Amino acid sequence: MSSATGTRFRVTTFGESHGRAVGAVVDGCPARLALREADIQAQLDRRRPGGTALGSARREEDRVVLLSGVEDGLTLGGPIALMIENRDQRPGDYRDWRNVPRPSHADFTYQAKYGIRAASGGGRASARETVGRVAAGAIAETFLAERHGIEIVAWVAAVGPVEAPDLTQANVTRSLVDERPVRCPDADAAARMTAAVEAARAEGDSLGGIVTAVCRHVPAGWGEPVFGKMEACLAAAMLSIPAAKGFELGSGFQGARMRGSEHNDAFVAKGDTLGTATNRSGGVQGGITNGEPIVFRVAFKPTATISREQRTVDFDGKPVVLKAGGRHDPCVLPRAVPVVEGMAAIVLADAALLAGEPMGRDFGAR
Amino acid sequence: MSSATGTRFRVTTFGESHGRAVGAVVDGCPARLALREADIQAQLDRRRPGGTALGSARREEDRVVLLSGVEDGLTLGGPIALMIENRDQRPGDYRDWRNVPRPSHADFTYQAKYGIRAASGGGRASARETVGRVAAGAIAETFLAERHGIEIVAWVAAVGPVEAPDLTQANVTRSLVDERPVRCPDADAAARMTAAVEAARAEGDSLGGIVTAVCRHVPAGWGEPVFGKMEACLAAAMLSIPAAKGFELGSGFQGARMRGSEHNDAFVAKGDTLGTATNRSGGVQGGITNGEPIVFRVAFKPTATISREQRTVDFDGKPVVLKAGGRHDPCVLPRAVPVVEGMAAIVLADAALLAGEPMGRDFGAR
Amino acid sequence: MSSATGTRFRVTTFGESHGRAVGAVVDGCPARLALREADIQAQLDRRRPGGTALGSARREEDRVVLLSGVEDGLTLGGPIALMIENRDQRPGDYRDWRNVPRPSHADFTYQAKYGIRAASGGGRASARETVGRVAAGAIAETFLAERHGIEIVAWVAAVGPVEAPDLTQANVTRSLVDERPVRCPDADAAARMTAAVEAARAEGDSLGGIVTAVCRHVPAGWGEPVFGKMEACLAAAMLSIPAAKGFELGSGFQGARMRGSEHNDAFVAKGDTLGTATNRSGGVQGGITNGEPIVFRVAFKPTATISREQRTVDFDGKPVVLKAGGRHDPCVLPRAVPVVEGMAAIVLADAALLAGEPMGRDFGAR
Amino acid sequence: MSSATGTRFRVTTFGESHGRAVGAVVDGCPARLALREADIQAQLDRRRPGGTALGSARREEDRVVLLSGVEDGLTLGGPIALMIENRDQRPGDYRDWRNVPRPSHADFTYQAKYGIRAASGGGRASARETVGRVAAGAIAETFLAERHGIEIVAWVAAVGPVEAPDLTQANVTRSLVDERPVRCPDADAAARMTAAVEAARAEGDSLGGIVTAVCRHVPAGWGEPVFGKMEACLAAAMLSIPAAKGFELGSGFQGARMRGSEHNDAFVAKGDTLGTATNRSGGVQGGITNGEPIVFRVAFKPTATISREQRTVDFDGKPVVLKAGGRHDPCVLPRAVPVVEGMAAIVLADAALLAGEPMGRDFGAR
């Protein structure tokens, strides 16, 4: 029952990497929202393997089909089901290694949990599952943009040891992000990242990295106290993405090194409300948004599938030298960008519906 | 409705920092578990303000009272309600600053969300809310220890810029952790941390830091795929703790800098099952535990309450120089240790009940 | 984890019949609602044993204490915890029959499920658990009355074979209901019901009956399609009350005997919206309220505890003749009235918060 | 977010009556269960319109396609998505009456809630939505039969005023139920029911009725206390079915007329456990199953769509005489049978997974 997330904007994904289809059901999307398959397709195309020179060799058209919930281009308020057929399945690629759990993959843990696992690829643990997230995220973004004017932009901030400068204060846009296949808006860093990816690919190796995301124009008052804090929901959403190993909001791990007098965000008057002079809080205080941009970073480990030889053991504990076939990305970071955006949108859409109308900003005396 | 967490092991906390009582209801705890108030009290005492020379001056006895769910020292299977009365309330400490939202506190965001907030202290956003978590976590730990032999140990790994060496491979115990008030098991680092805290206190300032936690003897197969991944649940739990800004599992942000060939954890035979030669995965693969220790780190920002003057504005946007009274910790890290342990225990107890009996470890051919 | 109900207005009850306290936590109640202990106490007093000449001999003061969530008479938006201490516990009453599962009680099933059960009384299965529901329901009613002008009135419509005439069209009020201990607003039926209860009591026997409830001024558009239908939520709420055996909305089982042409509720213009000429739908169509009063009935079985001898077997299967001590009501119906009202209020409060603001009643062309 | 039900066996349905497809996602179904499309198809065929001489004239092949979750005939433990394409859509049938909310349909309430509704048919409120329930229910039944030996049989117990004798003690089977199109196992009652349906059809009218269901071989200990009671879950499930107006367990409304001494189910020894001599409890005590058959009844109102003229008003409040076209069943009862079975199976599957392994039946002293 863990393939669903969200309370009011509820997303369920389905599908194995090499089965008939992957997809999602979005239940709770508000009615009368303008929504076309093309809105969803645009983000799917950004996630698609083979979309860039840097990606996996797997070719999927990834054509989304809306099965329900939309009529004449408007949402009806009921569940929006969507499906993307798997076409370029090559289960045979993995067949020879059936008895060897791939290191740092989910083969062993799924087998331990279920006593069975999908015959090839990663089943539900495959990055292909994120197709449903990106599609559902695109619906969430449509809602957030139309009803609240929110925009979410993510980019690659690090690939292996190559780090881009901090761009969270810059007005980075998606079109800027997409100017380069590596999806880093900084030209110099992008060049070095690309070189690092090519080097890793040449050596049959892989690289991890960091994605930074900014959510702009989120109103104050979203997020729920205690266990439903905005940062808790974002952290869960991000750590649910395959290969994610870390999350930090605002100042994050770096903030842990600072003193309170340096770290505190002083309030300043902004129009008829308050803002903060700095944003080390990352747009959230006490779990609730304060009107400043939400800023966070997600760490991804290097892709577990590499074509270099690996010494490991099979399910019976016998030593083997694994040399995996199959197609894989040397670095998932550029394709992780729309996944991070989609998951952020799903979290924010849920928060928007839970927040409801603000109770009134009675800032003064009680 | 966000004061509850967990699906089967369901914890609801209640209480404001300066109200009549704080507490929790634990619904779903298995029946026939030996449970005494003393088991809970032990962890509460570790969290208690004034428990160490380093803590806040607030004195609370924090005496837990079990209201339901336990009879003759055994759990009945129904909800366990527990309560800790607030005794040392001093709402007056905050009264003068009623119209000034404290920087990097939740005063502004609660007011924006609810149009009202607790008259003093942080209400639900106060660290005092964690009393309920620690008490509920102690119940979870009792279950995990008795039924599954699990032990959870956390410690302070960094205070401000002072970092302890990596001790995740050492067999750190709680009694070792508690040998020093700063709760860092490394003597040298502990001395430097203590000095840093004292220096910050002397200057009316505060420090953040990092807590590391290890969960040992967790069986393979816990955690649910996709959105219920173990690391997603842990990340949400940790980011829900007041002042937490970051979470990383296993290699975390450092792993993002590595190559796949360095990062992958090769499998090795361990008894009649498999283990891994290294543990960069942090005990979780594909969201499901693999039988290795779960290892994670949580970053905490410096305490927002400082006694140094701060330039900010009041709710009406007028500039003020805030000099807060009230009692506060210059560094919450030592007291965050039992909170981190408690939240980890709550996550693991829920995962244990969701996992149920293993389906059979049919490792070979399907 | 089943001691909680509701999605946004979330109620968790706790406490065994003979433990230290019973109570509830209400999480999700809107902020800035005027709420005093006296509002809750009034409904608790209506539920209290010994409140009427017809009730159990057990005497409980049932004094509610608010532990959190309310400050200076206003709700804060956080969880409202409340507690009622058990004072008149007499566990000894049941001790002799410890090895005999009482017929049509939950002794056997709790033992089968948990391998343990509360030493006396019904533990969580006791009607005493409904104290928490009534208290939480009173909070829900306060919200519904203040923010939506809703009123909920229930009464006893049948006791054993004695049935009152249909009063759902009459403007029955709570004060009218409370004029007679049996809580039936029809004088003649009330007299016969009272006689029936006294006769049953004299014979050491018990009676069941039916409670009717009407919820007035519920706006159109509450309730969620498919699985969250208003009638589904009400049915679950009512069948969760101890001793409830049936639920029907509007025409109910009687409607099953009618033809469509008789049963359909024609629409009529009512002010600037539509109403229906009849209300066989019971205020709900397709799971969503239509603005007419919600009308439903709940069937209760006769109290399982009787003082007459019963032939049964003990846990070892050996025949025994059980003659129960303990205190009991010959007929729970009058005391079930505030429980039904409270559960209805909890369902409606949740529906109100899920419905949010209406999307706009665009009745004409799309 | 209300198109999903269940906690561990989680079913989400999707699809409008005249959209592209209807279907369901079943998340949480145990792994390694033998499951073929044919198992699902069999129940869908029983629900299919045009399946009997008594049904609607709408012809749908209703061919189920499994999209995920099953490989080589075995479940994988992940979400099982399935889809049934809508083929025989005739939206034009309803177009002329676009501005008239059909009496006792959901046209008005959906419009009030969402400000939009599906252009034709009932959208999500249509009985066509139950296709997804029946398919999901068939998966649940497969699990319950294979792992627990449970069988669920429902039949038509009343059509309008025609009632069959009580058959809950008889060993009614599905093949016996299916011997007659009206799905009543009593030959005499079936004949009179059929005549009643034909008479109603001839007059352009419709009939309601009652479905009885029996669930056999359910072990003791399923169902959760307080709000997760078995009867509460069943009541919610049944009242969520379109046109359902009432639910009763065991003795139900009739039991409300009895005395405790008549109604109580005495315990008797049955093998190494206890059973009851009678089953007025309907297989459930205190919300938890006792090992006896679960027996319940569901009341359905007469179909709201009739071809007779109806005086009502349009959305603007103007009087009209409605004469509906479209295809409809004069009596949905026979087709409701597999829907009731499916919903019961979904409830039981969830209860099975929540119950987990019994804690041990420690019937004697504690």
Encode pLDDT of B176-215 as tens digits: 999 999 999 999 999 999 999 999 999 999 999 999 999 9
Nearest residue on chain C to D203, judged by CA atoms?
A: C261
User: Lowest-confidence range among A286-295, B53-62, C70-79, C148-157?
Assistant: B53-62
For D235-276, how does the pLDDT look when each residue is reduced to its tens digit (9 = 90+)?
A: 999 999 999 999 999 999 999 999 999 999 999 999 999 999
Nearest residue on chain A to C78, judged by CA atoms?
A: A225
Distance CA A13, CA A22 (A): 8
The stretch A64-91 carries a mean pLDDT of 91
Residue with more model confidence, A48 or A64: A64
Distance in angstroms between the alpha carbons of the first and the last residue of chain A: 43
Neighbouring chains of D at 3+ CB pairs within 8 Å?
A, B, C
Picking from C72, C74, C359, the nearest residue to A32 by CB comes out as: C359
Give pLDDT, residue D54: 60
Residue with more model confidence, D180 or C88: D180
Distance CA B214, CA B295 (A): 5
Picking from C103, C227, C360, the nearest residue to D115 by CB comes out as: C360
Whether the predicted pLDDT of C52 surpasses 70: no
Give pLDDT, residue C361: 43
Task: Give the domain range for residue A56.
Answer: 4-355
Residue with more model confidence, C316 or A61: C316
CB contact under 8 A, B245 and A244: no
E strands along chain C, which residues? 4-5, 10-14, 21-27, 64-66, 70-71, 74-75, 80-85, 151-159, 162-163, 209-216, 244-249, 267-270, 273-276, 284-285, 288-289, 294-300, 310-313, 319-322
Picking from C16, C22, C67, the nearest residue to B15 by CB comes out as: C67
Give pLDDT, residue B236: 98
A249 within 8 A of B246, measured Cβ to Cβ: yes
C34 within 8 A of B116, measured Cβ to Cβ: no
- At residue B331 the predicted structure's pLDDT band, cuts being 50, 70 and 90, is very high
The stretch A64-79 carries a mean pLDDT of 97
Evaluate whether residue C71 is within a structural domain: yes
For B83-131, how does the pLDDT look when each residue is reduced to its tens digit (9 = 90+)?
A: 999 986 655 556 678 899 999 999 999 999 999 999 876 899 999 999 9
3-state secondary structure of C270: strand
HSE toward the beta carbon, residue B364, CA cutoff 13 A: 3
Contacts of A8 in chain C (CB under 8 A): 354
Question: D270 to each of A118, C173, D149, D276, D292, how far by Cα in Å?
Answer: 44, 50, 18, 8, 11
- At residue C18 the predicted structure's pLDDT band, cuts being 50, 70 and 90, is confident
Distance CA C23, CA B20 (A): 15
CB contact under 8 A, A3 and D25: yes
Give pLDDT, residue C122: 82
B113 within 8 A of A288, measured Cβ to Cβ: yes
- Helix, strand and coil content of chain B, in percent to the nearest 5, comes to 30, 20, 50
Picking from D1, D6, D113, the nearest residue to A7 by CB comes out as: D1
Computed over its alpha carbons, how large is the radius of gyration of chain A? 21
For C215-247, how does the pLDDT look when each residue is reduced to its tens digit (9 = 90+)?
A: 999 999 999 999 999 999 999 999 999 999 999
Nearest residue on chain C to B85, judged by CA atoms?
A: C67
Find where tokens 């281009």 sit: A73
Picking from C13, C28, C68, the nearest residue to B20 by CB comes out as: C68
Question: A259 to each of A116, B100, B157, B204, B244, how far by Cα in Å?
Answer: 51, 21, 17, 10, 15
- At residue C119 the predicted structure's pLDDT band, cuts being 50, 70 and 90, is confident
CB contact under 8 A, C118 and B3: no
CB contact under 8 A, C225 and D124: yes
Give pLDDT, residue D329: 82
For A200-246, how does the pLDDT look when each residue is reduced to its tens digit (9 = 90+)?
A: 999 999 999 999 999 999 999 999 999 999 999 999 999 999 999 99
Locate B96 and state its tokens.
Answer: 């003068």
DSSP for B226-286, written as a single string: TTS-HHHHHHHHHHTSTTEEEEEETTHHHHTTSBHHHH---EEEETTEEEESS-TTTTEET
Evaluate whether residue A361 is within a structural domain: no
**Residues of B192-223 as b/e, b for ≥16 C-beta within 10 angstroms?**
bbbebbeebbeebbbbbbbbbbbbeebbbbbb
Distance CA D166, CA D257 (A): 18
β-strand C310-313 against D64-66: which pairing, if any?
unpaired
Locate B182 and state its tokens.
Answer: 């700063």
Whether the predicted pLDDT of C120 surpasses 80: no
Beta-bridge partner residues of C163: C158
Distance CA B120, CA B122 (A): 6
Distance CA A290, CA A271 (A): 14
The stretch A294-303 carries a mean pLDDT of 98
Beta-bridge partner residues of A267: A276
Average pLDDT of the residues of chain A: 92
C74 within 8 A of A362, measured Cβ to Cβ: no
* Helices vs strands, H then E, count in chain C: 10, 18
Closest of C149, C150, C147 to residue C356, by C-alpha: C147
Closest of D121, D104, D153 to residue D303, by C-alpha: D104
Chain centre distance of CA A339? 3
Evaluate whether residue C222 is within a structural domain: yes
Neighbouring chains of C at 3+ CB pairs within 8 Å?
A, B, D
Whether the predicted pLDDT of A269 surpasses 70: yes
Find the CATH number of the domain harbouring A193: 3.60.150.10
Distance CA C340, CA A251 (A): 51
Contacts of C123 in chain B (CB under 8 A): 76, 78
Could you tell me which residues come within 8 angstroms of residue B191 by beta carbon, excluding any fewer than 6 positions away? none
Find the chain B residues whose C-beta atoms sit closer than 8 A to any C-beta of D: 7-8, 30-32, 72, 74, 77-78, 225, 353-354, 356-357, 359, 366
Picking from C8, C32, C78, the nearest residue to A225 by CB comes out as: C78
Distance CA D188, CA D172 (A): 16
- Furthest CA-CA distance within chain B: 71
Find where tokens 């088991």 sit: B39
Nearest CA of chain C to the CA of B227: how many Å? Answer: 19
Closest of C341, C155, C225 to residue D109, by C-alpha: C225
* CA-CA-CA-CA torsion sign (C62, C67, C68, C74): positive
Distance CA B249, CA B252 (A): 5
3-state secondary structure of A192: helix
Name the DSSP class of A140: H
Beta-bridge partner residues of D268: D275
Picking from D4, D9, D81, the nearest residue to A15 by CB comes out as: D81
Distance in angstroms between the alpha carbons of the first and the last residue of chain C: 43
For D33-65, how does the pLDDT look when each residue is reduced to its tens digit (9 = 90+)?
A: 999 999 999 999 999 876 555 655 555 689 999
Give pLDDT, residue C94: 60
User: Lowest-confidence range among C200-214, C278-292, C331-345, C346-360?
Assistant: C346-360
Whether the predicted pLDDT of A359 surpasses 60: no
Cβ contacts below 8 Å, chain A against chain D, sum to: 158
Locate C102 and state its tokens.
Answer: 């009482």
Closest of D336, B213, D269, A1 to residue C313, by C-alpha: D269
Please report, rounded to a whole number, the percentage of residues in chain B having pLDDT higher than 70: 91
Find where tokens 């906390």 sit: B13
Contacts of D353 in chain B (CB under 8 A): 356
- Please give the helix or strand (H or E) that residue B153 lies within, else none: strand B151-159
User: Lowest-confidence range among B98-107, B112-121, B306-315, D69-78?
Assistant: B112-121
Whether the predicted pLDDT of D358 surpasses 90: no
CB contact under 8 A, A108 and B285: yes
The stretch D69-95 carries a mean pLDDT of 85
- At residue A300 the predicted structure's pLDDT band, cuts being 50, 70 and 90, is very high
Question: C123 to each of A70, B68, C55, how far by Cα in Å?
Answer: 49, 10, 20
Find where tokens 């949740």 sit: C350
- At residue A49 the predicted structure's pLDDT band, cuts being 50, 70 and 90, is confident
For B251-288, how does the pLDDT look when each residue is reduced to its tens digit (9 = 90+)?
A: 999 999 999 999 999 999 999 999 999 999 999 999 99
Nearest CA of chain C to the CA of A21: how many Å? Answer: 26
- Helix, strand and coil content of chain D, in percent to the nearest 5, comes to 30, 20, 50
Please count the structural domains in chain D. Answer: 1
Nearest residue on chain A to D78, judged by CA atoms?
A: A124
Please report, rounded to a whole number, the percentage of residues in chain A having pLDDT higher than 70: 91
Nearest residue on chain C to B350, judged by CA atoms?
A: C1
Beta-bridge partner residues of D270: D273
Whether the predicted pLDDT of A53 surpasses 60: no
Locate C353 and state its tokens.
Answer: 């918060």
* CA-CA-CA-CA torsion sign (D25, D28, D34, D39): negative
Locate C300 and state its tokens.
Answer: 């209760």
Nearest CA of chain C to the CA of B220: how many Å? Answer: 24
Give pLDDT, residue A230: 98
Three-class SS string for C135-149? HHHHHHHHHHHHHHC
Closest of C118, C59, C53, C62 to residue C88, by C-alpha: C59
For B149-183, how does the pLDDT look when each residue is reduced to its tens digit (9 = 90+)?
A: 999 999 999 999 999 999 999 999 999 999 999 99
HSE toward the beta carbon, residue D70, CA cutoff 13 A: 20
Question: B198 to each of B53, B191, B192, B204, B207, how far by Cα in Å?
Answer: 10, 11, 10, 10, 10
3-state secondary structure of A50: coil
- At residue B359 the predicted structure's pLDDT band, cuts being 50, 70 and 90, is very low
Beta-bridge partner residues of A269: A274
Give pLDDT, residue A122: 82
Cα torsion through D10, A234, B285, B224, rounded to 10: -10
Cβ contacts below 8 Å, chain A against chain B, sum to: 420
Distance CA C70, CA C38 (A): 13
Distance CA C4, CA C60 (A): 24
Distance CA B149, CA B159 (A): 31
Distance CA D169, CA D214 (A): 9
Contacts of D71 in chain A (CB under 8 A): 16, 19, 118-119
Distance CA B70, CA B80 (A): 7
A1 within 8 A of D5, measured Cβ to Cβ: no
Evaluate whether residue B362 is within a structural domain: no
**Mutate which of C10, C229, C354, C361 to test chain A, going by most A C-beta atoms within 10 A?**
C354
